[in-house]
């Protein structure tokens, strides 16, 4: 006896397509959120590695994070950390007897350590660093006119990580304000934006409404861009405890 096989009707096909579309609509945001969380974790790991390098360097200097400003050619804090990031070859190729923007040093831009770039950064230019340090290791790189008023006295020595676990050392900068990783200058326009309270634009570009801060003990935490910029500045200059910042 022959049996007839009924095909799938148009209505049934449309129902199946609708269900698949609904499932994709539910799954895609979850996948995107998972990817964002993974990249945010990778960003935090970058800062953690930088923090470890800072601690190792400080230990080698008997617990002192900062250098006194005796370097006439001025080196970026990122350059100073190269030997402690397993970048001995790159450190050897950097010409400390020449200005940071000399042809010999600028040709090292494509070799920027990966740890200096946030996984969420969309910067197309080569050698742009996502992380900057308004205070730590930075007064060796102040502009000729002197440091901005919110950067501490150049002669101050920062306490070691054991006693200042809540002392901030670096933070992430939005793509618009990134600079060459060998550049020792803190971007003047960025300082102005900080003073105007525009954290969303200066720090929240890569992570939307949050940004990470690296602390002296090596841990990184994400803070809301709704934080009072004045409080953030006070934290970086050491007059306010970071625990009080809104998260």
pLDDT tens digits in sequence order for the chain, 247 residues long: 555 556 667 777 777 787 787 777 766 665 566 777 788 889 989 999 998 898 888 777 765 555 555 566 678 889 989 999 999 999 999 999 999 999 999 999 999 999 999 998 988 899 999 998 765 444 333 444 554 454 444 444 344 333 455 677 888 888 888 889 999 877 656 666 666 667 777 887 788 788 888 887 788 888 888 887 777 767 766 666 666 665 4
Give pTM, 2 decimals.
Answer: 0.73
Collapsed DSSP state (helix, strand, coil) of residue 222: strand
Any bridge partners for residue 168, and if so which? 215
Q: What is the pLDDT of residue 155?
A: 45
C-alpha closest to that of 116 among 101, 128, 99: 128
The single residue listed with the structure tokens 């841990």 is 219
Predicted confidence at residue 228, as pLDDT, reads 77
CA dihedral sign, ordered 165, 167, 169, 175: positive
Nearest Cα to 235, choosing from 177, 185, 188, 166?
Answer: 166
Pull the structure tokens for residue 32: 């995107």
């Amino acid at each position: 006896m022959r049996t007839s096989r009924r095909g799938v009707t148009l209505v049934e096909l449309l129902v199946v397509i609708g269900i698949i579309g609904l499932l994709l609509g539910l799954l895609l945001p979850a996948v995107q959120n998972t990817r964002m969380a993974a990249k945010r974790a990778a960003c935090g790991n970058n800062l953690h590695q930088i923090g470890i390098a800072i601690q190792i360097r400080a230990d080698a200097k008997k617990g002192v994070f900062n250098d006194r400003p005796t370097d006439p050619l001025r080196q970026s804090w990122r350059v100073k950390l190269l030997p402690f990031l397993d970048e001995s070859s790159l450190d050897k190729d950097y010409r400390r007897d020449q200005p940071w923007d000399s042809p010999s040093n600028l040709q090292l831009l494509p070799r920027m350590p990966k740890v200096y770039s946030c996984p969420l950064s969309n910067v197309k230019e080569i050698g742009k660093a996502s992380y900057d340090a308004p205070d730590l290791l930075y007064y060796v790189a102040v502009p000729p006119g002197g440091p901005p008023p919110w950067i501490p006295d150049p002669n101050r020595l920062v306490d070691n990580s054991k006693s200042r676990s809540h002392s901030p050392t670096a933070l992430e900068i939005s793509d618009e304000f990134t600079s060459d990783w060998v550049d020792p200058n803190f971007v003047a326009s960025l300082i102005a934006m900080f003073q105007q309270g525009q954290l969303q634009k200066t720090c929240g570009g890569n992570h939307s409404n949050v940004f990470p801060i690296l602390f002296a003990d090596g841990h990184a935490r994400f803070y809301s861009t709704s934080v009072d910029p004045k409080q953030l500045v006070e934290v970086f200059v050491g007059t306010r405890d970071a625990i009080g910042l809104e998260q």
